[in-house]
Amino acid sequence: MRESGILNRDINDVLSTLGHTDEMIVCDAGFAIPAGIRTVDISYSENKPTVPEILRELRKHLSVENVVISEDTQKQMPQRFQELARALGEVPVEIITQSELRARAKSVKAIIRTGDFSAFSNVLIVSGGGPRWYVEKP
């Protein structure tokens, strides 16, 4: 029986399928999830859990190349934007429109839906190679 790390079997399965440059979204409770996209719904009540909580836990188990956050988050929720941008560590942050984020959601490998009621709390994560990867130097 698993007793450490991420205990949610569906999240573990999603993480195991991600390769370099694959994308997934961690979203708030109101994000419009496209039909046909694998969804792991971990919401259990208002603001439980939050997107930043999940991002901080994912950081322990996932290599991230960059994150994508809506400019609406940056403009309308600046403190939340900073919290989301920092939650996965020092990775590049790409800013796009909310409509572009919704369009990209149609091709992600999975979406993890939280109970977060903070507006525009949606983060697209681009999976990357971590520090374990070896590259020969000429």
Is 61 catalytic? The answer is no
| DSSP per residue, 103-115 | HHGGG-SEEEE--
Residues sharing a CB contact under 8 Å with residue 18, sequence separation 6 or more, in sequence order: 24, 62, 109, 127
Q: Of these residues, 5, 9, 20, 119, which one is catalytic?
A: 20
Three-state secondary-structure class, residue 24: strand
Q: List residues with catalytic annotation.
A: 20
